[in-house]
Amino acid sequence: MPVAIITGASKGLGRALAAALAGRGWDLVVDARSSGPLEAAARELREGGARVVALPGDVADDGHRRELVAAARELGGLDLLVSNASVLGAAPLVRLAEHPLTGLRDALEVNVVAPLGLVQEALPLLRKSPLLAPPTEGAANEDSSPYIGTEGDAFAGTGGAVLHISSDAAVEAYETWGGYGASKAALDQVSAVLAEEEPGLRVWWVDPGDMRTDLYAAAVPTDDDSGRPLPETVVPALLDLLDRRAASGRYRAGDLPAGPATPADPPSAAPEGAR
């Protein structure tokens, strides 16, 4: 069975993606800072028969990242690394003139340094993954095989995939989103360079679009987010990248064939990619 590491998997997009992969037969290593919600999520994931290792901890901690990769190794390897965990740097969000520098450092550590640290730790396993190998004659089709792949683009190598969850705030200037947006912009650049340096992997950095999450509620607590799509609506777009073995690059979930519909009247003061 293929194996994925998903950070920030106790709720929101991380939990929704974990559930979808478990339903496809994947084994999972999941993490979150709070052990209670993480174990509750893991219990649900195991109900379908998936092997799930739940490791509470902070992705900014070197030792924790080593534990995540070691757990994947024990499950048989690593095929997909998903860096979904992130922090705002200030909650509620504030203008740059008032942004605490300690918060910005925290955002950079969790949103940029930690994903790169995970990649560095996981590269030996990702490079060995058969996930992107061209389907062999007589292999199970995409509906029954956990190693999903349609035609995709021409690719002769093998390897795994890295999925970094980005934000519209990485490429657009929104008042009060400067610290968080700067960290996601840095993550985008790290992802782009990684894609150039590791052509045997797929590296996707994805703006998930508008979502109703606890992170957004903390960022803008006065905003009514009841009309925002749930994270589950974004998952088909992420699976689409996997199914097609899409080329490395930056994607907007709403632009993908399986992407969620854009709300008719999205709030103009907040980025669509806010998680």
The CATH number that applies at residue 80 is 3.40.50.720
Q: Is residue 77 assigned to a domain? A: yes
What the block records as the tokens of 262 is 């854009």
What are the pLDDT digits (tens) for 134-161?
655 444 333 333 333 333 333 334 799 9
Q: Is residue 117 assigned to a domain? A: yes
Length of the chain: 275
| DSSP conformation class of 245 | T
Neighbours of 62 (CB within 10 A): 11
Structural domain containing residue 208? 3-255
Q: Is residue 266 assigned to a domain? A: no
Q: Is residue 270 assigned to a domain? A: no
Confidence band of 22 (pLDDT split at 50, 70, 90): very high
Q: Is residue 260 assigned to a domain? A: no
Whole-angstrom distance, CA of residue 170 vs CA of residue 77: 32
pTM of the model: 0.87
Q: Is residue 139 assigned to a domain? A: yes
Q: Is residue 268 assigned to a domain? A: no
Domain count, the chain: 1
Question: Minimum mean pLDDT among 8-22, 83-97, 194-208, 209-223: which range?
Answer: 209-223
Q: Is residue 272 assigned to a domain? A: no
pLDDT surpassing 80 at residue 85: yes
What are the pLDDT digits (tens) for 211-241?
988 888 888 998 887 888 899 999 999 999 9
What's the mean pLDDT in 156-179? 91
